[in-house]
């Protein structure tokens, strides 16, 4: 998929997902005077788009995806990640144990469904670390904060690594060649 | 699949899904003296069954499904739509931004998984418009109403188009020939 | 998959899932002096591991799985069951109609996706009966109890059979031979 499309996909998911977090009060922006786009500070969707592009580039250098994907596969992957993003906006009143196990199990299923290789696991794990650490930096800078019921992981939400894990897993496989037909998304070798 | 089975499938999903909406207080019936079935006014599941049959008929005239489905595919599709229906019953306390993004992302994933063609998109989009408009008519007639926290889309719930979209996408592909074996649900042309 | 791995899989899912139930207050242990592991009484994950092994053994004797699965299929199945387990921990404030229809629809989808045979249905249905009955025995013994908003099925939660159904469906297919490649998880006969 072209890099611009990958960036725009990340931009759109970041924008819509962040809108759910702000609407639910899970997160809030704290700097005055920053222009907003939907519910986000203007810089947020650009950063997410670039981060998704970075994960996709990392995947491409690792020869991902291991099998060709179709445009429709990418639509499903993006929709599932956005659904998980929105789901996290509904978890403010849940204990961390519940939200982390729920989002973690979904994230593992997304990785295993999308492209279960050690290399995509590496990209997903990298995203699960770097993403929350970067958000801790944002929180420390005073630009934004998580609600007091959702900030137990160094100022960010405890389920945040799970969301980045799922997003990183899917992103790692979107820069390879896409095939036009669904049939071609299957392994090229078949048994029997 | 036979038309009677399609009608009964819609009847059953409408009955069970509506039971969750009434139980959660998302919707309520307002006319006295109408017999009830489970939690619904007696006419509701019949209307849903006919609507599903209509979407299925529209899909058949558009030569859907694009690839043959199995009975099991239909079971999965129906179960996923019912799960989304029941999920909407849990969203009363969520901001519209959260519920719409969540249900919208799931609906897109359902469409893309089930049968991602422009024609099924047309049927799904038609259902997403006609269904809520019809329900607005029901609300305007005084026969039923949505809870005050779930009526921001002209008297109906803001996520309602997403639910109809997913249901329409699946319904559009159920009147074609079913194949008995799972293998045959795959494209007839394979690569390699 | 080796029996020890199946046992450990059940052990782990039981441990993590039960942690969500205890954290949400859905269930509580009542006997003092029993050692705990994470949030569970120490015996709980062992019992779940053995129960999963029993369901797997029942499936193996019924010649399940009907088609070979990969390790990744098992990862997805286990993750989905754990996600459903954690989802039930978020349903305390939902009417039984909502929680049962939601979990029931997901459980049917899991069965149909994982291995839709009459034999796996039998194992799943057996689990859906025996599991809750066993938990009713635990409750009657005074070792544990469900919260008063989640005990309407003879002392256990009304959605509990759905969770056991999904777990039983997946468990019924994990003791057969696994294939190493994803391609081989498909039917050995192909059309065209």
What distance in Å separates the CA atoms of residue A106 and residue C3, rounded to the nearest whole number? 25
Closest CA to C121 of C41, C64, C54: C64
Is B107:B155 a contact under the CB 8 Å cutoff? no
- Structure tokens given for A26: 């899970």
B31 Cα to chain C: minimum distance (Å): 22
* A-B C-beta contacts closer than 8 Å: 74
Is A27:A40 a contact under the CB 8 Å cutoff? no
pLDDT digits (tens, 9 = 90+) for A119-147: 999 999 999 999 999 999 999 999 999 99
Put residue A50 in one of left, alpha, beta given phi > 0 → left and psi -120 to 50 → alpha: alpha
What distance in Å separates the CA atoms of residue A185 and residue A69, rounded to the nearest whole number? 5
Chain C residue with CA closest to B76: the answer is: C109
Is A99:A163 a contact under the CB 8 Å cutoff? no
pLDDT digits (tens, 9 = 90+) for B81-135: 999 999 999 999 999 999 999 999 999 999 999 989 999 999 999 999 999 999 9
What's the mean pLDDT when you consider all of chain A? 93
Closest CA to B115 of B173, B165, B53: B173
The reply to whether residue A188 touches residue B192, judged by beta carbons under 8 angstroms, is yes
Q: Which residues of A touch B112 (CB under 8 A)?
A: 72, 75-76, 79
- Report the pLDDT value the prediction gives residue B44, as an integer from 0 to 100: 98
Q: What is the DSSP letter of A95?
A: -
Residue environment code for A106-116, b if the CB has 16+ CB neighbours within 10 A, otherwise e: bbbbbbbbbbb
pLDDT digits (tens, 9 = 90+) for C7-27: 999 999 999 999 999 999 999
- Structure tokens given for A12: 């759109």
pLDDT digits (tens, 9 = 90+) for A83-111: 999 999 999 999 999 999 999 999 999 99
User: Dihedral sign, CA of C107, C112, C114, C115?
Assistant: positive
In the block, residue with structure tokens 């990209």? A123
What's the mean pLDDT when you consider all of chain C? 93
The reply to whether residue C102 touches residue B79, judged by beta carbons under 8 angstroms, is no
In the block, residue with structure tokens 């696994």? C178
What distance in Å separates the CA atoms of residue B85 and residue B77, rounded to the nearest whole number? 12
ipTM of this predicted complex? 0.93
The reply to whether residue A181 touches residue B187, judged by beta carbons under 8 angstroms, is yes
% of chain B exceeding 70 in pLDDT: 93
pTM equals 0.94
- Report the pLDDT value the prediction gives residue A180, as an integer from 0 to 100: 63
Chain A residue with CA closest to C182: the answer is: A187
C38 Cα to chain B: minimum distance (Å): 29
C190 Cα to chain A: minimum distance (Å): 8
In the block, residue with structure tokens 């026969």? B143
Q: Which helix (H) or strand (E) holds B36?
A: strand B36-37
């Amino acid at each position: 998929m072209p890099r611009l499309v990958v960036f725009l996909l990340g931009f759109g998911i970041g924008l819509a997902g962040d809108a759910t977090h702000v609407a639910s009060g899970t997160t809030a922006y704290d700097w005055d005077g920053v222009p907003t786009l939907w519910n986000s500070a203007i810089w947020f969707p650009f950063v997410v788009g670039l981060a998704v592009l970075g994960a996709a580039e990392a995947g491409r250098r690792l020869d991902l995806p291991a099998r060709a994907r179709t445009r429709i596969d990418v639509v499903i992957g993006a929709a599932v990640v956005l659904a998980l993003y929105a789901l996290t906006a509904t978890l403010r009143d849940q204990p961390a144990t519940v939200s982390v196990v729920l989002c973690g199990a979904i994230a593992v299923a997304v990785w295993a469904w999308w492209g279960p290789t050690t290399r995509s696991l590496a990209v997903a794990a990298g995203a699960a670390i770097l993403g929350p650490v970067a958000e801790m930096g944002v929180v420390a800078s005073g630009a934004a904060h998580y609600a007091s019921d959702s900030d137990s992981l160094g100022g960010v939400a405890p389920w945040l690594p799970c969301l980045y894990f799922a997003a990183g897993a899917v992103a790692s496989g979107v820069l390879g060649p896409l095939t036009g037909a669904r049939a071609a998304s299957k392994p090229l070798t078949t048994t029997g």
